[in-house]
Amino acid sequence: MTFSQILFDRIEDIYARILAHPFVSGLTDGSLAQEAFQFYAVQDALYLREFSRGLSLLAAKAPEEDAAILFNDSAKNAIVVERALHGSFFAQWGLSSEQVLATPMAPNNVLYTSYLLRVAYERPFHEVLGAFLPCYWIYWEVGKALVSQGSPVPVYQQWIQTYASDTFAETVQRVLALMDRVAEGLTEAQRNHVSEHFVMASRFEYMFWDMGYQRQPWDI
């Protein structure tokens, strides 16, 4: 069993809850309120800007040139995806980029991005990789799980196809292969630290979709 497979086994229950969440299941049966998806998409655009900053830090800490190239490209693509995918959504909803950027981050978005950036600044490469891996891997798994069902809502179908695409799959597979290579040189204690970050970030992935479904407000 590869190290990445061991990691995913640790989040089996979290991933099952993600697939069962009404936000995710509502994408395929069309029951998800479009207001909830719009809230999520705006928050995701804000998230990806911070995720991109973290990927740049990950690239700077990379022990090999190919990994640095991979994450520098990913940092750029996080913004490109935001502009292409979310931009097409926002145009349909009559939202300008200025309106999106002026939107406050929801509580769970602040929690998730703050965690990722703290890890990216403070921890060694292998731990940062473990923290950033769920955003790649879980979205790919969700995309693959949903694409066979499709969606009656064009915007939802576009979202599903993006994360089930061969292009996204190739990127995720490269990150997974890197994780497994890096793990070969880690001690048991170092692997445990990677696993802890991987599990924590996976929890935040669940919380992010729940944030969208609830259109999470600030209570104070």
Catalytic machinery residues: 135, 205
- Exposure string of 53-80, with b = 16+ CB inside 10 Å and e = fewer, is bbbbbbbebbeeeebeebbbebbebbee
Q: Considering only CA atoms, which of 110, 112, 66 is closest in space to residue 218?
A: 110
Using CA of residue 6, residue 8, residue 10, residue 16, what is the dihedral sign?
Answer: negative
Gap between the Cα atoms of 6 and 133, Å rounded = 13
For the chain, counts of helices (H) and of strands (E): 12, 0
